[in-house]
Amino acid sequence: MITSVAITGASSGIGKAIAYECAGRGMQLALLARRTDVLEAIASDIRQRHPQVKVVVIALDVADTDAILPALQQAREQLGGLDGVFANAGITAVNKTGAGEFRKDQHVIQVNLIGGMATVDAAARIFREQGKGVIVGISSVSAFKGIPGSAAYSASKAGFTNYLEATRIELKKHGISVIAVHPGFIKTDIAPNMDKYPFVISADKAARAIVTGVIKGHANIIVPAMPWAVLGRMMPLLPDKVIEKAF
């Protein structure tokens, strides 16, 4: 049973929606992100809607990997325990390969892959001490097939998915569950122009499916399940021309 969770990247998008969904299910929350002013506003709103839910705010930039473990330890201390960690923090960036802006790609890898891995590792350290816990990593359907113009983003998510799959097997003996989440096209305030893509759903709907899947103990959650559960298997087989036309 999950009663208290820490969520990285909780100031917007899927992370914010997950916070509201978890609060609605009575879970105590630690909200972590760089923009603490935004987190404080979200925390205040959640407390008004759900007075029984304890919400704490902790500043964290996952690009600073040394700060992650202390932040999660602080979350555990302030909540009086920690059952789950959502490694959700991530960024998107469009960058044409060879355009002279490789630093953009480096930053994407640092936040999405290295920061995600460091969050999982820190959570695992805490959960190994207590002999139980649930780690949820937010990847993407782009892990299944690289998206032109977002090569670094696709690579970061493919790497993160692979890492989550390996750690799931490794950490099971320690009483730790590792869950990989692969969202499709989700409409959020940090992803403009999503309406041009097919099968778009709201962040609230995605969060509902994600938290439900986590509670049920699903190892791999794809949202929305249809059609991405089918498309996810097909994407690696699609010809380059199809991907080029789609994106």
Using alpha carbons, select from 112, 92, 93 the residue that is nearest to residue 161: 112
* Domains of the chain with CATH codes: 4-246 (3.40.50.720)
Residue 148's Cβ-count burial label (10 Å; 0-12, 13-18, 19+) is middle
pLDDT tens-digit map of 129-149 = 999 999 999 999 989 987 788
pLDDT tens-digit map of 212-232 = 999 999 999 999 877 766 666
What are the φ and ψ backbone dihedral angles of 120, each rounded to 5 degrees?
A: -60, -45
CA dihedral 179, 123, 27, 208 (to 10 degrees): -30
What integer pLDDT is reported at residue 147 of this predicted model?
79
Least trusted range by pLDDT, from 108-112, 115-119, 181-185: 181-185
Where does the chain have alpha helices with state H? 13-24, 36-49, 68-79, 102-108, 115-130, 151-171, 203-216, 225-234, 240-246
Residue 242 has pLDDT above 60, yes or no: no
Catalytic residue among 20, 153, 163, 197: 153
Q: DSSP character for 64?
A: S
* Residue 153 a catalytic site member: yes
When comparing pLDDT for 185 and 113, which is higher? 113
Task: State the pTM of this model.
Answer: 0.92
Write the DSSP string, 69-133. HHHHHHHHHHHT---EEEE---------TTSS-HHHHHHHIIIIIIHHHHHHHHHHHHHHHHT-E
Q: DSSP character for 6?
A: E
pLDDT tens-digit map of 55-85 = 999 999 999 999 999 999 999 999 999 999 9
Q: DSSP character for 141?
A: G
Residue 43 has pLDDT above 90, yes or no: yes
pLDDT tens-digit map of 6-18 = 999 999 999 999 9
Question: What residues are paired with 221 via a beta bridge?
Answer: 181
- Per-residue tokens: 67: 């700060």
- What percent of the chain clears pLDDT 90, i.e. is strictly above it? 74
- What percent of the chain clears pLDDT 70, i.e. is strictly above it? 88
